[in-house]
Structures are given as C-alpha cells and as structure tokens.
C-alpha cells in the first residue's frame, strides 16, 4: 500500500498563499520521508483538491490522507470537503481517502503565539521590552529574562514556591510554553526544600545534571551531590547485568536514596530503575525531579513517576533534559537557603 498526504488550505487571492502551502508540504515531505506529499487549495488557488487527488491516484497512491489547515469546524469541514471526497472516491474506487482532524484549538498553537509575543518582548517593539541593556551585564539580563517570563508564561495554578521552580525551569530552557507541561505533586516543592534543609544528599543520573547544580548553595546545608555514571565498577556491573550504565548507577546509590532529593535529567532507564527500587520498598526519596528527554521511554517514564505515589516534579511528554533538572534543583536550593528567587 502506498500512502500519500495532501496539505489542504482554504486558499486566498493573495499569491503568497501558494508559497506558504508549498513550504508546509515541503517540510512534511522531509519529516515524513515520503515523496507523496502535495498541497491543494479549496478555492482561489491552484491546484485544487480534485486535481491533486487525480494526480496522486495516477502516481499509484492507494491510500490518501488529507490534512486540512482549518481552525474551525465550519461548512468547509462538515460539508464541502466530504462532498468532494465522495465524488473522488466514486471516480477512484481503489483509492482509500481519509481526512485528518482539523487543527481546532490545539494547545500547540499557544506555543507559536507565545514565541511570537516573546520576540516582541525581547526586541522592544512598541515599548514591550528591550531596554538597551548591555549584553555584558548579566544581572540585568537575568532580571529582564524573568520579567518576560512573568509577563508571558502562564503560571496560574502554581503556588508562589512552585512558581519559583517553574520560572527557573523556563529560564533554563528558553521555552515560555513549558509551564503548560510542568507537573508537580501536591507539596512536592516543600518536601524537597525541607529535605535539603535537613542536609539530604542530591543524587543525579548523569554528570551534566551534577555540574549544573550550584556548589555555592549545596555547601550551605551540606547537600552532597552523588553521581556514579562514570564509575568503572558501575560500567562493569551494567555490562554483566545487561542494564544501562545510568540504571545501574542509580541502583548502586540506593543506600543513599532514602529521604534524598533525586534529579534525573537524561536517562529514562535511570528513572524506571529508581521507581523499581522504590516499589521494592527499599527506599522512599523525599523528592524526585524527573525530566528525562527523548522519544524512547522518556514520556512513559515520567508518566510512571506521576503514578508512583512519590513526591515529584516533571514535564510531560518528550521534552526535558539535564538543564531542566538542574534548574529545578537550584530553585529548591535558593528557597532552602532563604534567597530571593526570581
């Protein structure tokens, strides 16, 4: 079966509309790794939908997915497009045509709008931001960054202490939409701060998280940062056990994990291993900051963390990384040290 894709726009008398549709189709062609990606317009522009369907049927496509670039479920979606498809299916009985859901109120649109707003805030258009500060003044740069975060990011629903953590994570990632995917268990921030003030260790999955944690602040309450990812014994044990080094490193530190603050910013396997250790009843960390990143196991490990009954701070989905984990820990340390957090 050969599958084709059609990006379907409304169309416009503005000639640039064709260029936009072609640009979107070209991007999808690359992302889908398929030569059978075309664009069509419902009206005003060429080619129209029947013309493209005819062309793709002639190229041997047997399954066709139409992706409408429409925000609203109006007459075009409910009536016009289905009528065209019925007519085309009658012409090409061997061609199976499906229509993807229109865009509608997809939350990812907010990401684009926030990015556009941030561009204005950063550039100072119409006085929105940009105060002529010199790039060599880090204090003013940070101050302006947090002003933008507070102005644009959606922080509703977070307590003051939680906002301090979320803002640090946004600052570290440069992603103003991150607040929409940050998740915390009730009382997680307080549990982490209390543990840090009680001189608990901080366990990390990789060295990148460890080096991102503020030495100046960990020494105040003697919070030792522990990471064994580059330990030769861990490497040998992992090879013998058929485990990843990060998972074995996490297990090797299980005798330090009870009541500890744990930051996992890279490896889903380390988070899964920690959850297995906790399930065994061996340890119960005071807080788990779990932000592993990637497309294999990352989202699943974070979902498992949210179901584990532990105190947690995480980000849903594939986003994450060492910088996010370290920034969350640094925010907790600032609160624990009674520093004014942005």
Helix (H, G, I), strand (E, B) or coil at 270: helix
C-beta separation of 285 from 259 below 8 A? yes
CA atoms of 152 and 149, how far apart (whole Å): 5
Domain with CATH 3.40.50.1400 in the chain: 3-99
From first to last of its 342 residues, the chain has per-residue pLDDT tens of 799 999 999 988 887 888 889 999 998 888 888 899 999 999 888 899 999 999 999 999 999 999 999 988 889 999 999 999 999 999 999 999 999 998 887 767 766 777 777 667 655 544 444 444 455 666 777 788 888 888 888 888 899 999 999 999 999 988 888 888 999 999 999 999 999 999 999 999 999 999 999 999 999 999 999 999 999 999 999 999 999 999 999 999 999 999 999 999 999 999 999 999 999 988 899 999 999 998 889 999 999 999 999 999 999 998 999 999 999 999 999 999 987 555
Which CA distances in Å does 36 have to 3, 55, 64, 87?
7, 10, 9, 21
Nearest Cα residue to 300 out of 265, 271, 262, 264:
271
Burial level of 222, CB count in 10 A (0-12/13-18/19+)?
exposed
In this prediction the pTM is 0.67
- Residue 212 CA to residue 208 CA, distance in Å, equals 6
Active site (catalytic) residues: 171
| 82-91, Cβ contacts within 8 angstroms, sequence gap of 24 or more | 84/49, 84/50, 87/50, 88/49, 88/50, 88/53, 88/54, 91/54
Q: Assess if CATH 3.50.50.60 describes domain 3-99.
A: no
Q: How many CB atoms lie within 10 A of CB 142?
A: 12
How do beta strands 182-184 and 312-315 pair? antiparallel
Placement of tokens 């060599």 in the chain: 136
According to CATH, where is 3.40.50.10230 located in the chain? 159-336
What radius of gyration, in Å, describes the C-alpha atoms of the chain? 26
Note whether 315 and 183 are within 8 A (CB).
yes
Give CATH superfamily name and number for 159-336: Cobalamin biosynthesis CobH/CbiC, precorrin-8X methylmutase (3.40.50.10230)
pLDDT of 121 = 64
Spatial distance between the Cα atoms of 124 and 113, rounded to a whole number of angstroms: 17
pLDDT number for residue 37: 94
């Amino acid at each position: 079966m050969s599958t084709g894709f059609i990006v379907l726009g409304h169309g416009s008398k503005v000639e640039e509309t064709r260029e936009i549709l072609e640009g979107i189709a070209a991007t999808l062609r690359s992302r889908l790794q398929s030569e059978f990606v075309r664009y069509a317009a419902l009206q005003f522009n060429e080619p129209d939908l029947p013309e493209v369907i005819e062309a793709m049927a002639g190229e041997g496509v047997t399954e066709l997915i139409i992706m409408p670039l429409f925000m609203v479920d109006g007459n075009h979606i409910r009536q016009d497009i289905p009528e065209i498809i019925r007519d085309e299916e009658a012409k090409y009985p061997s061609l199976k045509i499906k229509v993807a859901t229109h865009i509608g109120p997809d939350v990812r649109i907010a990401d684009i709008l926030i990015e556009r707003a941030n561009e204005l805030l950063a550039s100072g258009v119409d006085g929105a931001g940009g105060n002529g500060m010199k790039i060599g003044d880090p204090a003013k740069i940070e101050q302006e960054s947090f002003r933008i975060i507070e102005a644009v990011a959606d922080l509703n629903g977070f307590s003051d202490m939680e906002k301090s953590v979320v803002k640090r994570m946004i600052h570290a990632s440069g992603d103003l939409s991150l607040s929409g995917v940050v998740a915390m268990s009730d009382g997680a921030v307080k549990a982490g701060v209390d543990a840090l003030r009680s001189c608990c260790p901080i366990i990390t999955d990789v060295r990148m998280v460890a080096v991102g944690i503020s030495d100046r602040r960990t020494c105040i309450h003697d919070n030792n940062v522990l990471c064994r990812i580059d330990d030769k014994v861990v490497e040998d044990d992992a090879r013998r056990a058929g485990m990843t080094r990060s998972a074995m490193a996490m297990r090797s530190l299980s005798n330090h994990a009870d009541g500890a603050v744990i930051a996992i910013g890279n490896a889903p396997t380390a988070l899964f291993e920690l959850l297995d250790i906790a399930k065994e009843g061996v340890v119960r960390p005071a807080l788990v900051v779990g932000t592993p990143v990637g497309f294999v196991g990352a989202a699943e490990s974070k979902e498992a963390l949210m179901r584990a009954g532990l105190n947690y701070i995480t980000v849903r989905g594939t986003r994450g990384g060492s910088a996010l984990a370290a920034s969350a820990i640094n925010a907790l340390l600032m609160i624990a040290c009674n520093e004014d957090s942005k």
